Amino acid sequence: MLSDYIFDRLLDSLELNVVRFLDLVVTLHVLPILGKGATIALLAAAGSTAGTIGTAIGALIGTQVDIFQLGGPGSALDETKREWPIIKNILDREAAVPVGYILGTSANPIDQHQVLAIGYKDVGNGVATLTVWDNNEANASRNLQLDFRGPELQVGNAHRGKVLKCIFAEKYSPRIPPASLKLS
C-alpha cells in the first residue's frame, strides 16, 4: 500500500538524520543556556573569595556577560555556511536534495522540519536563493532568500513566517518502491 511505503520512507529519513537534528537543536538552543549558567557559576565562585557580597556581585556580572559563548545563532550560521556548498554541489548533480530546517523559535526536536531543495541561485555576495518544495504547501515551490552576511542566518519568505536559523543537507538513501505500487 502506498501510505505504508511513504510512512516507511519517513521513518528511514528520521533514522538517518535524527542525530543531526538533535545536535543542531542543542547547538542553537541548549548550549547558550549552559554557557550562561557556567559563566554565572564561574564568576560567583571567583567573587566568593571576597565573601558573600563578592559572590553576589560575581553572579550579577555573570548575568550580563557570557564568557563561554557556547552555541547559539552564530554557531548555527557557521553550520549553515559549511552545509551550503554541500547543498549546491548535490543540486548541481541531482534534481533535488532533502534539507533539514532548524527553527529559532523552538527547541523541541519534533517542531523542526524537512523539505526538498530543488534549485538555487548564488551570486557569491553572501546572499542566495534556495528553491524548496514543502509537503505542507501542496504543489507549490517556495524561494527562500538566504542571507549569510550577519551574525546569524536570516531567511526571507519562509513558510508561515517560520524563523529558520540553520539548514543542512540531510542524508538520503534511495529505495525502489515495491512492484505492487507501480502503475499498470
The reported pLDDT for the residue numbered 2 is: 67
Q: What is the mean pLDDT of residues 105-115?
A: 89
Note the Cα 167 to chain centre separation in Å.
5
Question: Is residue 7 scored above 80 in pLDDT?
Answer: no
Please tell me the predicted confidence (pLDDT) of residue 172. 82
pLDDT of res. 58: 67
What are the pLDDT digits (tens) for 64-91? 777 788 899 999 999 999 999 999 999 9
pLDDT for 156-177, tens place per residue?
Answer: 988 777 899 999 999 887 777 7
CB 168 within 8 A of CB 99: yes
The per-residue pLDDT of the chain, averaged, comes to 86
CB 99, CB 80: distance < 8 Å: no
- Residue 1's pLDDT band, with cuts at 50, 70 and 90, is low
What string of DSSP letters covers 42-90?
HHHHHHGGGHHHHHHHHHHHHTT--SS--SSHHHHHHHHHHHHHHHHHH
CA distance 137 to 144: 14
pLDDT of 93 above 90 = yes
Residue 179 to residues 23, 110, 175, 184, Cα–Cα distance (Å): 37, 33, 12, 10
Is the pLDDT confidence value at 107 over 80? yes
d(CA 172, CA 12): 9
Mean pLDDT of 135-159: 90
Given a cut of 90, whether residue 54 has pLDDT beyond it is no
Does the pTM surpass 0.85? The reply is no
Query: Can you tell me the distance from the alpha carbon of 33 to that of 37, in angstroms, rounded to the nearest whole number?
Result: 6
